Amino acid sequence: MSDSISQPTAQAVARCAELTKQLNYHNKQYYLLDQPEISDAEYDRLFQELKKLEDTYSSLRVSSSPTQRVGEAPLSAFESVVHEMPMLSLDNAFNEDDMVAFDKRIKDRLKSDETLEYSCEPKFDGIAVSLLYRMGTLERGATRGDGASGENITQNVRTIGSIPLQLAGEEIPAVLEVRGEIFMPKAGFEKLNKRAAEKGEKPFVNPRNAAAGSLRQLDSAITASRPLVMCAYNVGYVEGELPKTHSQILSCLKEWGFIVSEELKVVAGVEGCLDYYRQLEQRRGALAYDIDGIVFKINSIPLQQQLGFVSRAPRWAIAHKFPAQEEMTTLNGVEFQVGRTGAITPVARLQPVFVGGVTVSNATLHNRDEIERLGVCVGDTVVVRRAGDVIPQIVAVVPSKITSSLKAIEFPQHCPVCSSPVETAPGEVVARCSGGLICEAQRKEAIKHFASRQAMDVDGLGDKLVEQLVDAGLVKQIADLFTVPKDKLAALERMAEKSADNLLAALNKSKNTTLPRFLFALGIREVGQATARNLAQHFGKLDNIIHADTDALQLVDDVGPVVAHFVYEFFRQNENLQAVDDLKKAGINWEEKEPVEVAELPLVGQTWVLTGTLETMARDEAKEKLQALGAKVAGSVSAKTYCVVAGPGAGSKLAKAEKLEVNVMDEAAFVQFLGAFE
């Protein structure tokens, strides 16, 4: 191209130098110090701008450019390791056009129009590592570092349970370098940060930072205490024979003891890649770990070898990135919301920004301690994170963009809704309105919770209707729901006689419930569905729970001192007892049973999974019936699953159950099975 050999303008030279300086700085913050100051999306934009300049003016491209590097130099505290084969990065695709162009480039280079076969895998948001095995024994672990050399982290990787110390199986190459991603699952990350908060330590910003910090510990005992996982995604240097497709190589790695992504799939052509991308993007938030895109690789190893590499990336692979989950924006102000239990939550009002596939203008700041930890002020430039369907949150302030025109965030001393004093109980970090149900906000949230699907399941009583009922003075306590006159209901906005009839019918239907649902609907602090079920099973009758002391309450499975305290105190408050009595007078009833020892329940110790569409009962009803018999109902199938109930439309869970030889029941057999316990 003529453009690529033209002389760069003075403006282009200056911009290239500035971009190089910025990217080198942020590489150091990200890779060496684990203190990133900008979002991945902002980094990608800077990188792409520099790459475009270098593509336009080839004389600007030098060997020290960030575009010619994979990462930064290793930390000096660790021994340096030279990789037998460079650990390269991947080029990125940001939209479908980029993927189509990638597919075309490969076909052009191969001089073929045949449909290509691609291996598809999620792109884990973790730390890339290299594991070297000799005669099946782990000899060395190393980080990617700058691609040519990395950090020797052998002692640390040996502490990770998902990394085999000795490979098992047949036909293992004499020398095998396995490459993978070490990451921290979401559940482990939450527990780690909870422990940090309990100790007064600074929590990690996200699972990737937590994994990086854990892996770079000089004391391997600290690494051993962290919930890290490694998933193998490729091989590097090998002395021996391997299969001729990428997917078959991963199958071998799985046989030899490595975790390989269960989402691995081989598809035909770029359309197959795009379909895979769309499907996994939809399920992204439900995955147990963070991913930031999909990696597509030519499945044929001979074709990979024929296509070769450019300076920093293979020609036969690409990472199709998801919409950024982190972005930078400005904090314009903070409002304070009051929740069902009186918790005062600061909500950030942001300059709208597109992140995680949606435009975000609000984000949670959690509590007063979080504001102080972040050191955030109105006017700050902040990093906003949105993962899947999780509420957006501010995770960091951008230090380089702090200005003098900032305004401190002042936490309210009185409730912004009812003006009652705001109090913080000893040992808690959450500030709460002391107004109780005299606070309109708490009343509204309590009614919304009471009517929710997992509680009393009042069909048609949505959030906006609850707001109207309270604002109009028709509902001042929960039991008032059952006495609102039909004409008053029909007169509300967007209501009419038919809608009023439907709501009254739904309220009447909800009166016949179960003790676990009623307990959960009361909104006792820290009493979720599982705890409500355990209390109901243990005590059998509501009066037994009301009169139980904290010692008796702690005999219940999953009830500790904190939960016992909240339950005990709830039933010591006269207004709560009156509310229960009013609800019973309104007609709410349930079948009371004799107390049951959990150990006596017939399905204790069994894990069941429900999948597909159940036609004779709702999924929640089936779940409740199993739980009432002592079973645990899980969302995924494993070797420990006792039985899978598969209705019409059952898909991957049924396939996995069959593969693992787990018991499977259709709906008819399940209904008959339940009938045996009635």
Percent of the chain surpassing pLDDT 70: 95
DSSP-derived pairing of the beta strands 117-124 and 80-82: unpaired
Judge whether residue 310 has pLDDT over 90.
Answer: no
Query: In the structure encoding, which two tokens stand for residue 621, read together?
Result: 């009803």
Within the chain, all domains assigned CATH 3.40.50.10190 are found at 601-675
Arithmetic mean of pLDDT, 287-302: 94
Chain segment 191-247, per-residue pLDDT in tens: 998 888 888 777 887 888 889 889 988 888 889 899 999 999 999 999 999 999 999
More confidently predicted of 69 and 453: 453
Residue 239, classed as helix, strand or coil, is strand
Q: Per-residue pLDDT tens for 39-88?
A: 888 888 999 999 999 999 988 988 668 887 555 455 556 888 899 999 98
d(CA 270, CA 272): 5
Mean pLDDT of the region 407-414: 94
* Mean pLDDT across 14-30: 84
638 pLDDT band (50/70/90 cuts)? confident
* The pLDDT value given to residue 61: 86
Contact criterion met (CB below 8 Å) for 339 and 329? no
pLDDT at 75: 52
What is residue 388's predicted lDDT score, i.e. its pLDDT? 57
Q: How far are the Cα atoms of 307, 318, 386, 611, 637 from residue 276, in angstroms, in the given order?
A: 23, 14, 22, 21, 22
Measure the N-to-C terminal CA separation of the chain; round to a whole number of Å. 79
Average pLDDT over residues 553-581: 90
pLDDT computed for residue 390 by the predictor: 65
Question: Using only C-alpha atoms, what is the Rg of the chain?
Answer: 29
Active site residue 486: no
Of 13-22, 25-34, 90-99, 544-553, the poorest mean pLDDT is in: 25-34
* Cα–Cα nearest to 353, from 98, 42, 29: 42
Residue 4 has pLDDT above 60, yes or no: no
Would you list the DSSP string of 454-514? TTT--TT--HHHHHHHHHTTS-SSGGGGGG--HHHHHTSTT--HHHHHHHHHHHHHHTEE-
Q: What is the 3-state secondary structure (H, E, C) of 506-537?
A: HHHHHCEECHHHHHHHCCCCCCCHHHHHHHHH
CA separation for the pair 4, 89 (Å, rounded): 24
- Residue 2 binned pLDDT confidence (cut-offs 50, 70, 90): very low
Cα 559 from chain centroid?
26
Model pLDDT, residue 513: 95
Task: From the options 1.10.20.10, 1.10.150.20, 3.40.1710.10, 3.90.1150.10, give the CATH code of 515-590.
Answer: 1.10.150.20
Q: Residue 33 pLDDT > 60, yes or no?
A: no
pLDDT-derived band at 97, boundaries 50, 70, 90: very high
Q: Is the model more confident about 5 or about 49? A: 49
CATH 3.30.470.30 domain position(s) in the chain? 88-321
pLDDT at residue 276 greater than cutoff 90: yes
pLDDT at residue 597, as a whole number? 67
Position of tokens 């930890």? 373
What stretches of 240-330 show up as alpha helix (H) in DSSP? 246-256, 269-283, 301-307
Helix 269-283 and helix 96-110, axial crossing angle in degrees, nearest 10: 150
Ranked by mean pLDDT, which of 70-74, 592-596, 663-667 comes out on top?
Answer: 663-667
Q: Over range 405-431, report the average pLDDT.
A: 90
| 111-137 pLDDT per residue, tens | 999 999 999 999 998 999 999 999 999
Identify the CATH number of the domain defined by range 601-675.
3.40.50.10190
CATH 1.10.287.610 intervals, the chain? 3-69
Average pLDDT, whole number, for the chain?
A: 89
User: Do 606 and 579 contact (CB within 8 A), yes or no?
Assistant: no
Superfamily of chain region 3-69: Helix hairpin bin (1.10.287.610)
Range list for CATH 2.40.50.140 in the chain: 326-423
Would you state the structure tokens that stand for residue 227, as one six-digit string? 């919930």
12 membership: H or E segment, kind and range: helix 10-27
Q: Which of 143, 261, 268 is nearest to 213 (CA)?
A: 143
Distance CA 554, CA 556 (A): 5
The tally of CA atoms less than 13 A away on the side-chain side of residue 51 is: 14
From CA 597, how far away is CA 615, in angstroms rounded? 32
Q: pTM score > 0.75 for this model?
A: no
Question: Which of 3.40.50.300, 3.40.50.261, 3.30.470.30, 3.10.20.740 is the CATH number of 88-321?
Answer: 3.30.470.30
* Residues paired with residue 142 on neighbouring β-strands, in sequence order: 130, 152
pLDDT tens profile 345-385 = 999 999 999 887 778 999 999 888 889 989 999 999 999 98
Residue 132 has what pLDDT? 96
* pLDDT of the residue at 31: 52
Predicted confidence (pLDDT) per residue in 482-509, tens digit: 999 999 999 998 898 999 999 999 999 9
Residue 389 has pLDDT above 60, yes or no: no
What is the CATH architecture assignment of 326-423? Beta Barrel (2.40)
**Residues whose CB is less than 8 angstroms from the CB of residue 130 and which lie 6 or more positions away in sequence, other chains included:** 83, 87, 140, 141, 142, 143, 144, 150, 177, 178, 179, 236
Using one digit for the tens of pLDDT, what is the confidence trace for 170-181? 899 999 999 999
The dotted CATH code for 436-510 is 1.10.150.20
Among the listed residues 51, 123, 191, 509, the single catalytic one is 123
Separation of alpha carbons 188 and 207, rounded Å: 9
Written as one string, the DSSP assignment of 617-640 is S-HHHHHHHHHHTT-EEESS--TT
Which residue in 472, 446, 433, 96 sits closest to 294, CA to CA?
96
Average pLDDT over residues 267-286: 93
Cα 470 off chain centre by: 35
Identity of the amino acid at 364: T
Question: How confident is the model at residue 1, as a pLDDT?
Answer: 41
pLDDT band at 26; cut points 50, 70, 90:
confident
Q: Which amino acid is at 505?
A: A
Asked if 657 contacts 641 with a C-beta cutoff of 8 angstroms, the reply is yes
Q: How does DSSP classify residue 316?
A: T
546, 571 Cβ separation under 8 angstroms: yes
